[in-house]
Amino acid sequence: MWRTISGLAVPLFVAESLGFAVQLGVVAVLGRMGGDAVYIRSLYQPVSLVVIAVTVGFGVSDQVAAAISKGAGRPRDVMTNAASLARIWLGLGAALYFVLAIAAPLLTGLFHVDAEHRDTFVSFLRWTSAANLLGVGTELLASCLRGYGYVRHATLLVTCTASVRIVLVAGLGLGTGVGIAAVPVAEATAAVTGITMGLVLLRRTELWHLPAALIWRRDVLTGLRRIGLPIALSLLLISAYNVAVVGVLGSYGQDAVAGFTVVSTLQNLVLLPGMVLGTATAITINQLRGKGDWQRMRGLMRGGIEVTVAVYVAIAVLVWLVHDPLARLISGNAGVAAAAGSYLGAVALTYAVQGPVLTSLTVMEETDGGFRAIVLNALYFGLIVAVSAAAAHAAGSADGFYETVAYCNLIGVSVPVVAVRHIRKLSAEGTARAAATTG
């Protein structure tokens, strides 16, 4: 079990790490442009989270369908599912873009955009959101390949599109002087490149059945409702949590807010293996579901959690041992470094619990347990915001918030138990259906 999960997780981790590095790289390039580039990009961040949430919802729905098709030995279904999802996206994406384009001038007031930057922000939002929405084509193709087991093909696709994105942002933004306009150009070019390359890679596998792309599968709507919608809502919930935390820490100075922002960026990287291991475990479980191998699902889920625990005990101890120098390294400001170091010192060891929790939530989200995962996330984030606000007020400093987060992380130890029970239920229901069919 460990070898199966690790074999999928390693290339997935490479691809996700590269995406994370490109995000940081784009911000670094924008910083070198000077002027209002970073400011405008920061204002667009809340809008980008909405686009990302919807895009990921479609991608994971397609990935789950591809994994089940793999297990069932039906490669033709992969293009049918992806094409059906693409048709839905054409309508939904157009509607979402229309809303964003109309709302752009209104958002300048909501975000308190300076008067001299309003026209630039509106233009940037419209062009960049259109380019980002185009990127769902690449996401669907990569999901087809990942879900069916062609993880290295998918990693190659993600690597190439990420390279196009960062090279164009740097080349156009710094080399030609077009400034922040390089971002939507790079995003659109990367999307077109990704779609083209994805089709070429798909054509080299048994998944290429062009007539199958003309078939409409109504059941993809069920997949979007049971898989895509909960995942999108979870991402939006995380976004709302970050906004709420900034509101709580805002009472304790700019260093506390900046320190949390710095640690949040680091945590995206620290928690990445948990998400990747969860995705690898879910892909394998969904392949077993398609095959009708219900009994092995339970052992696979236990194996996924065991791998994650082993990885995160090491990560937690390492981060805790170096939390102060690490905070100074990534912040560059004494006050911010002190706040970030205090946060890491309180929560680092709890990563040993957070990693398996994230793996468990990811598995549930990708195996029809998404709404249960939303409830668990809502309880967790709500508990942190409510209790931490009171704790920080009682302590008179942000230290109360940090300690509350640590205790809440420990409560999450119950989540893997819920996930294991969810997979056992799926296994039992599948076994019962198989017995009824043969009987």
Q: What angle do CA 209, 214, 217 make, to 5 degrees?
A: 100
Is residue 38 within 8 A of residue 119, CB to CB? The reply is: no
pLDDT score at 161? 93
Q: What is the DSSP string of 269-309?
A: HHTHHHHHHHHHHHHHHHHHHHHT--THHHHHHHHHHHHHH
The pTM of this model reads 0.84
Q: Where are the chain's structural domains?
A: 2-217, 248-438
Q: Name the burial class of residue 176, with classes exposed (0-12), middle (13-18) and buried (19+) by CB atoms within 10 angstroms of its CB.
A: exposed
Residue with structure tokens 């300690």? 403
Flag residues of the chain having pLDDT under 70: 1-2, 24, 27, 31, 34-35, 38, 42, 111, 331-333, 438-439
pLDDT score at 35? 62
Q: With CA atoms as reference, report the closest residue to 212 among 66, 431, 383.
A: 66
Alpha carbons within 13 A on the beta-carbon side of 8: 26
Long-range CB pairs of 408-411, under 8 A, 24+ apart, other chains included = 408/380, 408/383, 408/384, 409/347, 409/350, 409/351, 409/353, 409/354, 409/357, 410/350, 410/353, 411/380, 411/383
pLDDT score at 439? 59
pLDDT score at 111? 67
Helix H or strand E segment including 34? none
The helix/strand/coil state of 187 is helix
CA–CA gap between residue 376 and residue 387 (Å, rounded): 16
CA–CA gap between residue 374 and residue 382 (Å, rounded): 12
Is residue 379 within 8 A of residue 296, CB to CB? The reply is: no
**CA end-to-end span of the chain:** 31
Q: Tell me the one-letter amino acid at 126.
A: R
pLDDT score at 126? 92
Sign of CA pseudo-dihedral 357, 363, 366, 368: negative
Is residue 399 within 8 A of residue 353, CB to CB? The reply is: no
Q: What tokens does 263 get?
A: 């640690």
Task: Give the C-alpha distances (Å, rounded to integers) separating 426 from 62, 251, 284.
Answer: 20, 46, 14
